[in-house]
Structure 1
Amino acid sequence: MSADGTAPADARAPGGVNPWAVAVVVALATFMEVLDTTIANVALRYISGGLAVGPDEAAWVVTSYLVANAVALTASSFLAKRYGRKAFFMLSVAIFTAASVLCGFAWSLESLLFFRVLQGLGGGGMAPLAQSILADAFPPQKRGQAFALYGVAIVVAPVIGPTLGGWLSDNFSWHWCFLINGPIGAASLALMGWLLQDSDAAIEERRKLSKRGVRFDVVGFLLVASFLGSLEVVLDEGLRKDWFGSNLIIGFAILCAASFVAMIPWLLTRENPAVDLTLLRSRQFSSCFVVMLGTGAILISTTQFVPQIVQEEYGYTATLAGLVLAPGGIVTVIMMVLAGRLSGYVQPKWMIAAGALIITVGMYRLTFLYGDSTYWFFAEARMYVGAGLPLVFLSITAASYAGLRPDQTDQASAQINMARNIGGSMGVSLAQNVLAHREQFHQSRLIEHIDPSNPAYQRTLREATEYFVSHGATPASAQSQAFAWIGQQVQTQTAYWAYIDVFWTLGVIAFCMAPLAMILKNVKLGRSAPAGH
């Protein structure tokens, strides 16, 4: 220890190991977990075909992971303090890795979803611990560099995810989107067992909690899990099951409402609740929570629906669909650096509002899609989204911690990250429902014009028939082909208009985030808040 009480710059991590070795191991595990939030999105078409399910059912692969991840976030902070960061982090990585391999060997949609839930539970346990481990491993003056390495991992992983997932699906199979985590996870576990050690302060905190007999709020955790899980079932299955015409949906809706009603008084009256709802009494924190819900909805929905439309309607391969998102990811990396510099000079509310409006422009651009839209049309729109997201993400982190006590930061971090995942899951469900409903609406409107007495329809049918005759078809066969061609055009136009409505919906969500940000209070600039995962 130096004379001024600070640790020397070359201080070792707990256990006497090189702190940079710890940083690399933590970043590797984090990279693997964040990669899985996007790697499967472009493979949904392959998963849908391989498991013989519809695209809306395949979307559960994304939403189930996000919900399970959000549920695990509520428990991870306490369990890590109570039973040790190293032990809990390694357990989370082991669960995540094993579940990833099992996802790769899934034989049905049900088995895949079950393993994705396990994977999400493991991933949620990893997220809040990474930065705590880094903070213990590095002296204060070196932590910025360590967090920069961690930040690179969480920013680059979503950029690589869609392209890697598409390439694996096209050249091998969708199973490898999950199997690839096996060797990475095994290597991470081996290195963790060798390098990681709990700090003296963490050991002392664990001893105090054990001595006081503080127990985990199991009931609160189960109520939160029941509420979020049943809500997701209602949102995802409601459309296919005819909403409240289905006993299944009614049952889960009752469970959702009952869990919510019981959850509120329970969490508000516990000394150590699974989720500290008192944070939401603050206008500052609750506004950040709602903004993060919207941000998660846009982030995950665009990552899924942009690749989906270019594959289904424009014939892109999974690899090319992933590459559509790549320019936006590169812009995100650049903007993360710029936003980090701006955060010391510009109030978070202004950065959030600016980011939300930039995202709105990107969504608005996507509403101009048409049959001849090119690769760069979609890539450019995604670049707007990629430019706006870092302004929102980093600023919410700073704004959400304003006015909180030090002992509330763990809960605040968990809830902000939970909001991102819940928002992403609900956003995908909302977009899926908008897509299905608007397809039905536009199809019914377009079919109204397909009337044999309509001169425009007669002219189109005649010209299409003549075209097929000129290409060698018999008159009878040519007319059948003309009917089929007109039907196909109706389906294609219906899909275009439905996707446009989806992007309009996401654009409205982004636009509403801007005025919501303006009610945030000013914060003290020039000091970084704890970063969210």
Structure 2
Amino acid sequence: MSAGSQGTAKAPGGHNPWAIALVVALATFMEVLDTTIANVALRYISGGLAVGPDEAAWVVTSYLVANAITLIASSFLAKRFGRKAFFMWSVALFTLSSILCGFAWSLESLLIFRVLQGLGGGGMAPLAQSILADSFPPQKRGQAFALYGVAIVVAPVIGPTLGGWLSDNVSWHWCFLINGPVGLISLGLMYWLIEDSEAAKRERRLLRRQGVRFDLVGFLLVATFLGSLEVVLDEGQRKDWFGTSTLMNVFGVLTVVSFVAMIPWLLRKKNPVVDLRLLDSRQFGSCFIVMLFTGAVLIATTQFIPQITQEYYGYTATLSGLVLGPGGIMTVVSMLVIGQLSGFVQPKWLIATGAAVVAAGMYDLTRINGETTFSFFAWSRIYIGIGLPMIFLSVTTASYEGLRKDQTDQASALINVARNVGGSMGVSLAQNVLAYRSQFHQSRLVESVNPANPAYQDTLAQATRYFQQHGYAGPDAQGQATAWIGQQLATQVAYWAYIDVFWVLGVLTACLIPLAMILKRVKLGGAAPAAH
């Protein structure tokens, strides 16, 4: 990042830097909001488009993967074509695709538009940081990044509740259409207020003179690998993996071939789209894995808590969003506290402590049953909200330790890619665990539901008497009783399967504790670039 007007209160172009900060924060708020706003609306989306809940989950994972793909290219494209131009193109694509998502007529069309939305959104966050750095003198940048940080933190808090309210009271389509007017206003203000700094213009001219080209081959290999891997993870369970499905075999081959070709290409290329050599470092490689696992837990819980509360506890989408609200508020508070602690406590200890707190929250969720209350879910999310900022802020600080200045852009992109890819993989993993464990528990419970079993006969008799007392005749009463037992069986299977999901996510989180212990000590008190 370059510093634009170092000694003046004016930003490049002579505009007020705080006006620029507000516009940048507004655009970033809109993009971050879309990582969570659709999570509580998945039930409405699956119903409206006549697809299953597991297929509707693609709405979340496709956005995250597309977002990650753009992140790896955003730094070079911004330098080559100008930050203002690339930022405006990103916002324009995000806004247009958001409107198209709102008018989607099928799951396939929604996923195409959602991918375009992710491609547009992926370039916004890192560019926002660069524009803020150019617009403010060094002594004012902390305040500017604080405003930017508020937008990043508050958006995921508001997203589930807003998405739930819109779905319940208007339509799930408005979870996407709401971005239309906000995006258009942002575009107009950007065109008027934002200008590239002289340093950024010089860098662009230098790249053109040197003939530095974008690593298109590397980009396509990475994009093919991430996209194919996500298809395999999301569709594997439904398609019986690689047994009889041509689709799975094709994408399985694409995943392997693109990965095998990607590694030597990126390692040998002079200016690769992704610098994989960073992952050789014990410090950065460990931070990458930490962020991968953290993204998995964050996104999976944001989706699966509203999912179980709507399907098995009768919550509306609004109420399911409100379940996540207290945890989001606690995340804001925790970030402020951890921001102060990070100047005195080594990142490794904060990451380990945060992982332990989040793991405790996941363990708490394994105690769900038919009488679980709103406050139980809210408190479990509060525990997660306390621990996650300890990991997010600390891993950002730790990841830059020992890196050269020219490596920071690549490091920032890779850390953000880890969060997004981890999130999409976490949702896919949780969906697969839910499906497999549902089958397992179903088969075990069915063994005990035997007409010859005295316990079953007694339960059937009591249920039959209950329905007889409520107006059903003999055969009808027994039929209702049998259906009721089947419903109770299915509900119990679901509880146990969700418990298994939370156990798996808890174990993933616990793995971060020993991983944090191998991180090096860092110099405290420095300012690391913000992670989105």
- Paired residue for 1:302? 301
Opposite residue 336 of structure 1, the aligned amino acid is M
2:518 is aligned with 1:519: yes
Deviations, residues 185-224 of structure 1 (Å, cap 9, x unaligned): 0000000000000000000000100000001000000000
SS at match of 2:529: coil
1:216-365 equivalences under 5 Å are 216-245=214-243, 246-365=245-364
What is the alpha-carbon distance in structure 2 between the residues aligned to residue 6 and residue 176 of structure 1? 38
Opposite residue 24 of structure 1, the aligned amino acid is L
Deviations, residues 74-124 of structure 1 (Å, cap 9, x unaligned): 100000001100000000000000000000000000000000000000000
Q: For structure 2, which runs of at least 5 residues remain unmatched after alignment?
A: none
- Paired residue for 2:450? 451
Counterpart selection for 2:199 from 175, 198, 201? 201
Contact 1:40/1:62, CA 8 A, preserved across alignment: yes
Contact 1:7/1:140, CA 8 A, preserved across alignment: no
Offset at 1:11?
Answer: 1.7
Question: Aligned pair in 2 of structure 1 residues 400, 88: CA closer, same or farther (>3 Å)?
Answer: same
Offset at 1:470?
Answer: 1.1
Counterpart selection for 2:54 from 44, 53, 56? 56
What is the alpha-carbon distance in structure 2 between the residues aligned to residue 171 and residue 395 of structure 1? 39
Counterpart selection for 2:167 from 166, 169, 176? 169
Deviations, residues 402-449 of structure 1 (Å, cap 9, x unaligned): 000000000000000000000000000000000000001001101100
Contact 1:30/1:154, CA 8 A, preserved across alignment: yes
What is the alpha-carbon distance in structure 2 between the residues aligned to residue 109 and residue 226 of structure 1? 21
Opposite residue 481 of structure 1, the aligned amino acid is Q
Contact 1:353/1:517, CA 8 A, preserved across alignment: yes
What is the alpha-carbon distance in structure 2 between the residues aligned to residue 6 and residue 68 of structure 1? 31
Question: Aligned pair in 2 of structure 1 residues 118, 6: CA closer, same or farther (>3 Å)?
Answer: closer
Contact 1:93/1:123, CA 8 A, preserved across alignment: yes
What is the alpha-carbon distance in structure 2 between the residues aligned to residue 483 and residue 23 of structure 1? 62
Offset at 1:453?
Answer: 1.3
What is the alpha-carbon distance in structure 1 between the residues aligned to residue 373 and residue 6 of structure 2? 55
Opposite residue 319 of structure 2, the aligned amino acid is L
Counterpart selection for 1:45 from 43, 46, 52? 43
Contact 2:5/2:135, CA 8 A, preserved across alignment: no
Offset at 1:10?
Answer: 5.4
1:138-149 equivalences under 5 Å are 138-149=136-147
Opposite residue 122 of structure 1, the aligned amino acid is G
- Paired residue for 2:20? 22
Question: Aligned pair in 2 of structure 1 residues 53, 199: CA closer, same or farther (>3 Å)?
Answer: same
Deviations, residues 154-183 of structure 1 (Å, cap 9, x unaligned): 000000000000000000100000000000
Shift >6 Å, 4+ stretches: 5-9
Offset at 1:6?
Answer: 12
What is the alpha-carbon distance in structure 2 between the residues aligned to residue 9 and residue 409 of structure 1? 25
- Paired residue for 1:185? 183
2:523 is aligned with 1:529: no
Offset at 1:322?
Answer: 0.2
1:76-91 equivalences under 5 Å are 76-91=74-89
Note the aligned Cα RMSD (angstroms).
1.0
Contact 1:230/1:255, CA 8 A, preserved across alignment: yes
What is the alpha-carbon distance in structure 2 between the residues aligned to residue 509 and residue 25 of structure 1? 38
Opposite residue 484 of structure 2, the aligned amino acid is W
- Paired residue for 1:125? 123
- Paired residue for 1:407? 406
What is the alpha-carbon distance in structure 2 between the residues aligned to residue 216 and residue 146 of structure 1? 31
Opposite residue 104 of structure 1, the aligned amino acid is G
Query: If the length of structure 2 is used for normalisation, what is the TM-score?
Result: 0.99
1:406-445 equivalences under 5 Å are 406-445=405-444
What is the alpha-carbon distance in structure 2 between the residues aligned to residue 372 and residue 401 of structure 1? 46
2:5 is aligned with 1:12: no
Contact 1:223/1:259, CA 8 A, preserved across alignment: yes
Contact 1:9/1:141, CA 8 A, preserved across alignment: no
- Paired residue for 2:33? 35
What is the alpha-carbon distance in structure 1 between the residues aligned to residue 250 and residue 471 of structure 2? 58
Contact 1:9/1:142, CA 8 A, preserved across alignment: no
Deviations, residues 443-481 of structure 1 (Å, cap 9, x unaligned): 110110011111111110111111111112111111111
What is the alpha-carbon distance in structure 1 between the residues aligned to residue 6 and residue 283 of structure 2? 37
Residue-pair matches, total: 529
